Amino acid sequence: MQSPWKILMVAPLFLLLSLQSSASPAYDDLSRPRDSNGHTCVGCVLVVSVIEQLAQVHNSTVQASMERLCSYLPEKLFLKTTCYLVIDKFGSDIIKLLSADMNADVVCHTLEFCKQNTGQPLCHLYPLPKETWKFTLKKARQIVKKSPILKYSRSGSDICSLPVLAKICQKIKLAIEQSVPFKDVDSDKYSVFPTLRGYHWRGRDCNDSDESVYPGRRPDNWDVHQDSNCNGIWGIDPKDGIPYEKKFCEGSQPRGIILLGDSAGAHFHISPEWITASQMSLNSFINLPTALTDELDWPQLSGVTGFLDSTVGIKKKSIYLRLWKRNHCNHRDYQNISRNGASSRNLKKFIESLSRNKMLDYPAIIIYAMIGNDVCNGKSDPVPAMTTPEKLYSNVMQTLKHLNSHLPDGSHVILYGLPDGTFLWDNLHNRYHPLGQLNKDVTYAHLYSFLNCLQVSPCHGWMSSNKTLRTLTSERAEQLSNTLKKIATSEKFTNFDLFYMDFAFHEIIQEWQKRGGQPWQLIEPVDGFHPNERKSVFLKGMLMTSQTLDNQEWTQLTSWIKGNLTCDSRTREWLCCCLRIVSGRRCSSSGPKSWERRIHSTPRLNRCLETKVGTEPLRSMHPWGAQGGRGLGKLMPQTLGLLRHRPKGVSFSSIFAKCLSLNEEHIWMTVQLCLLLGSVTLPLFLK
């Protein structure tokens, strides 16, 4: 994805397309200067299209539609004021060209925001004019022959060249490039400011004047005098003299969630209302200033670190909110170290922004999710620019060694595989893009072709009509996923366990279709590439629990596992053994056969094996939840450490009966839940 810094510098006439331009993937070097002609062209075509369609929707003049667009923009960041200034500069010629029935492609080529270089193909979004392109362009240039706009457009403009803005621009640019907060008084990498890499991206600082106070650290003297880890728990209970932090959090194994990701993990999103004339209103751009200062990302809504409620009516919660709900001692302990355009190749440029002290902080769950840019680029021949399996192995090992030197002991790292992006073309190519819905003239196939021609596509390999190229891209993605899987199974590190998970794309689609949705609804409608909020939340939710979590019995079982079972390799073997029995298979030769014999030796479980239905309910869940008390005590898991004895009221057979009453998907989700939320060992069934 293109560096979002350009968005803050580009002329606001092309504001709406500047948004689209930031959807393009970066190449190997994020800091390398790049030719922005392609992005400028896309921006011009988008904005001129919106102006033209606003006039059509409201049956108004082009002048009125431009003024209407500016009236919709907020005053923040001087967006409204700048828009009116741009109208004054460019409006007259745009009016002339649109009044002469020139479409957005012709307007932008005439004004030289789009250029066809010698020997290069003509890039256009809309169908070509009935007359020849050369004749149409010559006619359009005659209309604006004496206009000063052409000279202006070639001269360029950069607001950061102004002396009064140079220093502030440089500071903002540095914050974005290094992925650290713009406003951070004590330089602890946490901020009290929401955007510009502030607490939308990582937990909010509760004392920005003290670098020893930040989310995720172990409490200083049980936080008797101050809240050193910003989880809102500090002081002493006057009734018994015990510090609240000790009372609520000791033994609960708090752990943070950290995402190392790309634009998908950062939740890149361009609102369709920003470019859809029929939906545009005074409320359409309310969130635009926030989006611009968050690099057009919405990490506060992401499937991993999001802390705000979903905007699309999904009840699923992010991984952070699930961890927080399980243990409020995890409050504010999240970090979204994602960047637009990030890949295994350039992660080293900003991984230093990760904040974790192996001596002072709690362990963390780290999700490595570079799911696209190692195979995605916008080059005319994208295959040579893809990361090879050998290079990926080297890059990931470098990242893991860095994590091992910074993460506290007891952390977990999950390597996420790459998806099969052939889904994009198969489900979107013949659907109308938001710009084409009014006049039925622009499909996603047209958009993909336009972006590929300009070499600014987020992923030429998958967003292409060339089936062979799409297949090659998916094959490379599968090779890279297998490389990640190999690393997870063969490499060991001292401070964290290493796991691998496939990108469960087909499972997400199936679940969405069960709810009455269509596959194409899981993709961002404007860029036609990124997973949207629905898909993101579903994907991360599958890491945490079954889709049938609302079922009371399943909730009881998973709650019991989270509260009592700790998850080393033997725990996973035990759960997989259960999975094999449910599916009618025996445990593998390496599996815990003694457990299987013990299962079959229990008459009650023999009946369960025959009927595949467990009938004995859990008798009591109280011993493993929070133990009584008032206030936060009710919300704190009290017993998540090693269990010395089997809990009262629950027999070995009742747990397995409950296990056997579930289907294979439930058990597999339990294994995944175990991987994420478990702790150290399993003494319960080994006596």
Catalogue the active-site residues.
Answer: 263
The residue to which tokens 């390999």 are assigned: 461
DSSP string for 219-259: PGGGGSSS-TTSSS--SB-TTT--BHHHHHHTTS---EEEE
**Helix axes of 37-57 and 79-99: crossing angle, nearest 10 degrees:** 80
Task: Tell me how far the alpha carbon of residue 209 is from its chain's centroid.
Answer: 30
The Cα–Cα gap between 196 and 183 comes to 8
Task: Tell me how far the alpha carbon of residue 168 is from its chain's centroid.
Answer: 28
The Cα–Cα gap between 642 and 340 comes to 41
The Cα–Cα gap between 169 and 267 comes to 24
Its sign, for the CA torsion 304, 262, 516, 526, is: positive
Q: Residue 314 is encoded by which pair of tokens?
A: 């999904």
DSSP string for 408-458: PTTEEEEEEPPP-THHHHHHHTTSBPGGGTTTT--BHHHHHHHHHHHT--S
DSSP string for 30-47: TTS----HHHHHHHHHHH
The Cα–Cα gap between 324 and 338 comes to 21
User: Are 44 and 108 in contact, with CB atoms under 8 Å apart?
Assistant: yes
Its sign, for the CA torsion 107, 111, 114, 116, is: positive
DSSP annotation of 203 reads: P
DSSP string for 173-197: HHHHHHT--S--TT-SS--SSSSSS
* Closest C-alpha among 289, 655, 354, 371 to residue 535: 371
Name the β-bridge partners of 288.
none
User: Are 60 and 277 in contact, with CB atoms under 8 Å apart?
Assistant: no
The residue to which tokens 């362990």 are assigned: 363
Which amino acid does the sequence have at 22? S
